Amino acid sequence: MSLIHHRWLAEHLPEWEREGLVTPLAATVLRDRYRVESRAGLAQMVVGAVGSLLIGAGLIAVLAYNWDEFPRWVRLVLAFGPLAASQAVSGWVLWKNDNAKPWMRESAALVQTLAIGAAMALVSQIYNLPGQWTDLIFWWCVVAVPLAWVLKSDAAAIAYLFGVAVWTIAQAGDRVMGSPALDVADVRIWFPILLAGILPRWPGSDLGDRPQPGSRLVLAATALVGLLAVAAFASGQQGQLTGSFTVFPWLAMLSSAVVLLFPLDPDGVAEPLSRKPQVVLGGLAMVIMALITTYEMPARELVSGVEPAVRLGWCWLLLAVLAGFMAVAFRQGRFAVLAVAGLALVPPLGALLSPSGTGGWPVAIAYSLLLLATAIVLIALEFLGRQGAARIGAALITLLVILRMADADVSLLIKGLVFIGIGCVFLGFNVLISHHRARVPGGSPA
């Protein structure tokens, strides 16, 4: 049942209770089983967050104007004044405790977050501190994230996640590009620590706070992007020493698989795919990389990166986490995501099994066959009544056929006819799966 149905049920239950159609006990059970997240004050929260964002961004722009007519101490007062004011407002909101409306908490946390950035930027400007703007972000994030915890602010949490991702990308960029910066932070250590900084907000001290759908998307996207940046950093670190940057593709695959398989509680497992952005983003990244690897040259480079990658501690950490996540997913019967995540384990097998001198063809062919097998598993699971993704499986098969036909040495006429045929089969399958879902009571999650 989708969230729309949950909301419809929640809206009708009071009426049914009044009419005696359901008992109060049954209504309570139904409300517990088909929960609806509160949307009270959502518009107020959004407007509050946008207003705060504008005030904070305006503050930064006003300070960036550079008031160099004033002496340093006046400019420092200008920097710290808004910070003090925003702290006072946040303190007042915190003091009101449960009487503070959600939009107040969001606005206060966001304005204070931006006031911190403005103060740090102005100090940096006054003393002509070197370095890119991204260098400011680390300390900004570290001192601002407690606001997301204590004020229970999603906006501050999202700002923190964006900041952490941007800082990690910047550090990885410095390492990959061989930047002249002396003090490039080791994001293999710092990114996991910074990402863990969000735990006091989600799931919180009582383990009960789950992010809203939009926040989940930001959380999943920043975790994936950050892990890919760490993979680039590890690759760049080794590349600086050896001149070879080939370890990135496999580390990126492992990172995507980790995000894809992130453990969920039983309620989370039962949710539809549209509510699990980590599965969508991690799976998409994994499938795209696997599709690229169905070509010979990328497959060769992927396999050649395995041997240098296994010399990295980061690679072993990813493998250990992946093994743990796979075990949990297996116990929960999440076979569809296991099938997709398993694609990340092909490169080491390829490096072990393919004879030297054969180039990338064995692995490229293996990826084509495995993607086909994965697609069949995704379709079959749905028809077997398990959690699958039949349409995604069908789309994957279609993509594979299109790729193979595109590089096949056959006439345009044959290619055209095959494409028309595939299109018809795809549409026909879509109709078939719609009928199948309509027959299954309650439908199955996509």
Partner 1 sequence: MRPAAFVFAVASLAQWLVPLVGVWQHERIIARGVAVRFECAAPDPYDPFRGRFLAVRPAETMVLAPEGIAQSADGANRIMVPVWATLVADEHGLSHIKSLSLEPVSGPTVIRLGARLSGETNGAKMVMISWPLDRFYLNERLAPDADRLVAERLGRGKPPVAEIRLLDGQAVLTDILLDGVSIRETVKQQAK
**Residue pointed to by tokens 């509510």:** 275
Comparing CB distances to partner 1, the nearer of 75 and 300 is 75
Contacts of 68-71 with C-beta under 8 Å, sequence gap 24+, read none
What residues contact 44, with CB distance under 8 A and at least 6 apart? 101, 102, 103
- Please compute Rg for the chain using Cα positions: 26
* Helix, strand, coil % over all residues of the chain, rounded to 5: 75, 0, 25
Q: Residue 129 Cβ, how far from partner 1 at the closest point, in Å?
A: 7
Q: How far is CA 444 from CA 254, 331, 385, 435, 439, in A?
A: 29, 20, 8, 12, 10
Answer whether 305's CB lies under 8 Å from 246's CB: yes
Q: Residue 90 Cβ, how far from partner 1 at the closest point, in Å?
A: 7
Query: Structure tokens of 434?
Result: 């719609």
**Residue pointed to by tokens 């096949």:** 408
Q: Residue 206 Cβ, how far from partner 1 at the closest point, in Å?
A: 12
Residues at the interface with partner 1 (CB under 8 A): 60, 64-69, 76, 79-80, 83, 87, 90-91, 94-95, 112, 116-117, 119-133, 136, 139, 142-144, 146-147, 149-151, 178-182, 240-243
Q: Residue 233 Cβ, how far from partner 1 at the closest point, in Å?
A: 13
Comparing CB distances to partner 1, the nearer of 91 and 214 is 91
Nearest Cα to 212, choosing from 97, 361, 45?
45
Comparing CB distances to partner 1, the nearer of 239 and 249 is 239
Comparing CB distances to partner 1, the nearer of 146 and 272 is 146
Comparing CB distances to partner 1, the nearer of 130 and 355 is 130
Q: Residue 94 Cβ, how far from partner 1 at the closest point, in Å?
A: 6
Query: Structure tokens of 292?
Result: 């690229």
Q: Residue 305 Cβ, how far from partner 1 at the closest point, in Å?
A: 17
Query: Structure tokens of 237?
Result: 């670190």
Report the number of secondary-structure helices (H) and strands (E) in the chain: 20, 0
* Amino acid (1-letter code) at residue 27: A
Comparing CB distances to partner 1, the nearer of 59 and 264 is 59
**Residue pointed to by tokens 């010979």:** 296
Comparing CB distances to partner 1, the nearer of 127 and 407 is 127
Left if phi > 0, otherwise alpha if psi is -120 to 50, otherwise beta: which for 243? left
Q: Residue 150 Cβ, how far from partner 1 at the closest point, in Å?
A: 4
Q: At what angle do helices 296-304 and 361-383 cross, to 10 degrees?
A: 100
Contacts of 349-355 with C-beta under 8 Å, sequence gap 24+, read 350/299, 350/302, 350/303, 350/306, 351/303, 351/306, 351/307, 354/303
Comparing CB distances to partner 1, the nearer of 32 and 69 is 69
Q: Residue 221 Cβ, how far from partner 1 at the closest point, in Å?
A: 21
Comparing CB distances to partner 1, the nearer of 145 and 289 is 145
Q: Residue 178 Cβ, how far from partner 1 at the closest point, in Å?
A: 6
